[in-house]
Copies of this chain bind each other. A is one copy, B any other.
Amino acid sequence: MIEETGFRMERLKETAVSAAPPSRRATDAGQGISADLIAVLTAVTRGEPRVLTIQDQSALPSGPFQLEHRSLQAGLRAWVERQTHLPLGYIEQLYTFADRDRSGVSDGYPVISISYLGLTREQPASGEYEASWRSWYVYFPWEDHRTGAPPMIGESLLPALERWAKGDRSLAQNRWQRIAMTFGLEGRSWNEELVLQRYELLYEAGLIPEAWRTGAPAVPAIAGRPMILDHRRILATGIARLRAKIKYHPVVFELMPETFTLLQLQRCVEALAGRLVHKQNFRRLIEQQELVEETGELTADTGGRPAKLFRFRREVLAERAIVGTKLPIQRS
């Protein structure tokens, strides 16, 4: 039954903090290990980067890799399409995790988590699994720098991180250097791609509720909404990958409607990168790379002067192997 619906409800019903070994294990008499396929499905809606979640926003869609699946991608597509009725377009593999101490299972057979990043446009998901779209930044409030560095970094994260760094004399210097590097302190600039490194640092410092499963709570939950198992780590991996990838491959267009204005495209990129982009230079970049073509139409929905509508030139994917789409990120 569980295998047929895909998601392991036993596991999903656990709260984020208590994660007893799923009862499914007990029914597995076999010797082998098992592999879960986990999807980070992303869309950008009204200027917010969003992720498809299930189970009261606490889990990513996932299902076991099964005999009838011809390939990993095929298995993932099967699960997501059956469970959300969303057409799964662009997908790419993210990472394969199997750390015993992070999956919430401390004994029994190991579970391998094979994660994928998928890009679509947001559509209402079916309600069977409590599927809903949520902003990335609900889970990672320190990652959105579009209106400057979030106050919570200076107010709660950094003080707590500093306490942690000082907690071990011999490691203090090393720890502080990692903090400074990942958070862009001491003259260094913010690097939006270090999503996973920041999360892992906070995890190590005990500021992530997911870390408390293997021990006692260290500090109050100050660092974003948790998820079950290591799902938030997987989401961090997906965000990091996407933030890196938009700079050298035209994947943004998978998130855009058929036609769009250049500002809409820019807002989408900004939502993903979590920071603002220099408007004029952004346009220059897009146009000189011939990534888009005019549709000939205008739209007046933008507030000011009507904007030209563009469409993605799908041909470029065939013409060029790798397209440099570096972001003209605003420094001041």
A182 to B319: give the CA distance in the assembly, Å. 10
* A–B complex contacts, Cβ < 8 Å, 9 sampled: A30-B30, A30-B31, A35-B112, A65-B98, A71-B99, A72-B98, A112-B112, A177-B319, A182-B321
Interface residue A90 (Cβ < 8 Å from any Cβ of B): no
Point out the residues of chain B lying under 8 angstroms from A32, CB to CB.
28, 30-34, 109
Point out the residues of chain B lying under 8 angstroms from A321, CB to CB.
181-182, 191, 193-194, 197
A229 to B235: give the CA distance in the assembly, Å. 32
* Contact-size category for A: 35 or more
Shortest A87–chain B CB gap in Å is 22
Binding site for B on A (CB under 8 A): 28-35, 65, 67, 69-72, 93, 95-101, 109-110, 112, 114, 174, 177-178, 181-182, 191, 193-194, 197, 318-322
Shortest A8–chain B CB gap in Å is 15
- The closest CB in chain B to the CB of A193 belongs to B322
Given contacts A28-B31, A35-B35, 16 further A-B contacts (CB under 8 A): A30-B32, A32-B32, A32-B33, A33-B33, A33-B34, A65-B110, A67-B110, A71-B98, A72-B97, A93-B95, A112-B112, A174-B318, A177-B318, A191-B321, A193-B321, A194-B321
Q: Are B33 and A181 in contact (CB under 8 A)?
A: no
